[in-house]
């Protein structure tokens, strides 16, 4: 999704979350929804402090918003809102717990791990002529280490970055 104004997008996310929580759970959104540019492969997350039993914020990844359409972004926001609502009600709110997964199905959101990663990746290639295996990683490998191919044990070299 091409975003021109990130402040406008943040307001849209907060408005959508506020509307969903009121309609689905009859509760106000008392925490901020923020766009976090540091989240590279995490689509969104609900932050809470278990020691004080308080919700802190919902974060959405800037990379995710950039490379996905509104339908996916909406489903992820709903997913995080459900975490928040169940946490506030004292119900099981973690991924994989039956109550949480049932709520996801009820509201048409996706489970964790069902969306494939899109965004910037790093490409490496095996230096052996007969192998030439390509490796795609989300993060660049450390420069001070030697990495080898899992198939032929030859060294691998950095090719470049690309968007998938």
Question: Coil, helix or strand for 141?
Answer: coil
Token representation of residue 61: 């990844």
**Confidence (pLDDT) at 138:** 84
DSSP 94: S
Give, in degrees to the nearest 5, the angle at Cα 11 between 9 and 103: 90
Q: Is the pLDDT of residue 115 over 90?
A: no
Task: Render pLDDT for 8-29 as a digit per residue (tens, 0 to 9).
Answer: 999 999 999 999 999 999 999 9
The closest of 75, 66, 71, 158 to 109, measured between CA atoms, is 75
Lowest mean pLDDT among 50-59, 112-121, 128-137, 155-164: 112-121
Q: Is the pLDDT of residue 2 over 80?
A: no
Strand ordering across the sheet containing 120-126: 134-137, 120-126, 156-163
Identify the band that residue 132 occupies on the pLDDT scale cut at 50, 70 and 90: confident
Question: Coil, helix or strand for 163?
Answer: strand
Q: Is the pLDDT of residue 59 over 90?
A: yes
Identify the band that residue 88 occupies on the pLDDT scale cut at 50, 70 and 90: very high
What integer best gives the mean pLDDT of the chain? Answer: 91
Strand ordering across the sheet containing 33-36: 33-36, 54-61, 44-49
**Confidence (pLDDT) at 113:** 82
Task: Render pLDDT for 134-154 as a digit per residue (tens, 0 to 9).
Answer: 999 988 888 888 899 999 999
The closest of 27, 48, 45 to 36, measured between CA atoms, is 45
Question: Coil, helix or strand for 124?
Answer: strand
The closest of 44, 84, 82, 79 to 60, measured between CA atoms, is 44
């Amino acid at each position: 999704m091409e975003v021109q104004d990130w402040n406008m997008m943040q307001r849209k996310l907060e408005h959508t979350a506020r509307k969903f929580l009121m309609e689905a759970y009859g509760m106000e959104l008392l925490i901020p929804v923020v766009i976090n540019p540091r989240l590279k492969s995490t689509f969104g997350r609900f932050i809470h402090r278990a020691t004080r039993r308080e919700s802190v914020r919902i974060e959405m990844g800037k990379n995710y918003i950039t490379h996905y359409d509104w339908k996916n972004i909406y489903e992820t926001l709903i997913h995080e809102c459900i975490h928040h609502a169940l946490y506030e009600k004292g119900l099981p709110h973690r991924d994989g717990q039956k109550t949480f997964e049932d709520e996801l199905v009820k509201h048409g959101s996706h489970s964790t791990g069902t969306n494939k990663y899109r965004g910037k990746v790093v490409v490496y290639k095996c230096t052996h002529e007969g192998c030439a295996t390509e490796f795609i990683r989300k993060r660049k490998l450390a420069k001070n280490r030697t990495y080898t191919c899992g198939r032929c044990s030859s060294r691998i070299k950095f090719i470049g970055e690309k968007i998938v």
